[in-house]
Amino acid sequence: YTLRGLVGDVVAQRMEGRRSFDMRRTATYITWCDLVGELYTRPWVSILCPRWFPTFVDGTICWQNVVCALALDNFVLAPCIYYPAFYLFKSAAAGCFSVRTPLQQYRKEFWPQMKALWSLWIPAGLINLTMIPPPSRAAFNGAVGLIWVVILSLVTNSLSITEVVMDSCDVSTGHDS
């Protein structure tokens, strides 16, 4: 997970054409990827999804379970847990943790973030659940996750509201100004 955060954000910063490397930003993505990997991705991909939504029943694909797993992950867990946690974490990593400001920022950036997530994770999830053998799904998810970190970093850092909110944060005191 560490490598995913490191490589993903470094690639994103290079794609943005940044003149200077933002190590704090990369450290934020490394830590975020480690937390999400252990607390969300691994349990979801390796334990919960196979138990709750087995994709193969009697040797054939159970499309109902595939659709349910994709819907729960992309339309419930991602918008209600993943992204709010991401915005709260980003705020804390910037040194100005608050609940209200990052969640307001998330609400303003909801559609661009969700479109980015859905454009990658719905097709990838469909491939993962229907074509990848269960023991290899975590590895496939990890490879797609590297692409995801590049997209997440690019989208998050391109949204103009990100700069406005971070500018209102006094990193030295940890309080909103």
| Tens digits of residue pLDDT in 136-156 | 888 899 899 999 999 999 999
Q: Is 108 exposed, middle or buried (0-12, 13-18, 19+ CB in 10 A)?
A: middle
- Give the helix/strand (H/E) hosting 129: helix 100-131
The Cα 68–Cα 8 span in angstroms is 29
In this prediction, residue 171 has a pLDDT band, given cuts at 50, 70 and 90, of: very low
115 versus 59: which is more confidently predicted? Answer: 115
Q: What percent of the chain has pLDDT over 90?
A: 50
* Model pLDDT, residue 38: 84
List the structure tokens of 158.
């391109």
* Least confident window among 43-47, 61-65, 136-140: 43-47
For the stretch 17-48, what's the b/e string if a residue is b when 16 or more beta carbons lie within 10 angstroms of its beta carbon?
Answer: eeeeeeeebbebbbbbbebbbeebbbebbeeb
pLDDT over 70 percentage in the chain: 90
Instruction: Supply the pLDDT for residue 15.
Output: 92
- Given a contact cutoff of 8 angstroms between Cβ atoms, the answer to whether 44 and 82 are in contact is no
Check residue 164 and give its pLDDT: 45
Say what the pLDDT of residue 135 is.
Answer: 84
Q: Write down the domain spans for the chain.
A: 2-170
> Per-residue pLDDT for 173 more than 50?
no
pTM of the model: 0.83
Q: What does the mean pLDDT of the chain come to?
A: 86
- Give me the half-sphere count of Cα atoms (radius 13 Å) on the Cβ side of residue 131: 8
pLDDT in tens, 99-120: 999 999 999 999 999 999 999 9
The predicted structure's pLDDT at residue 94: 85
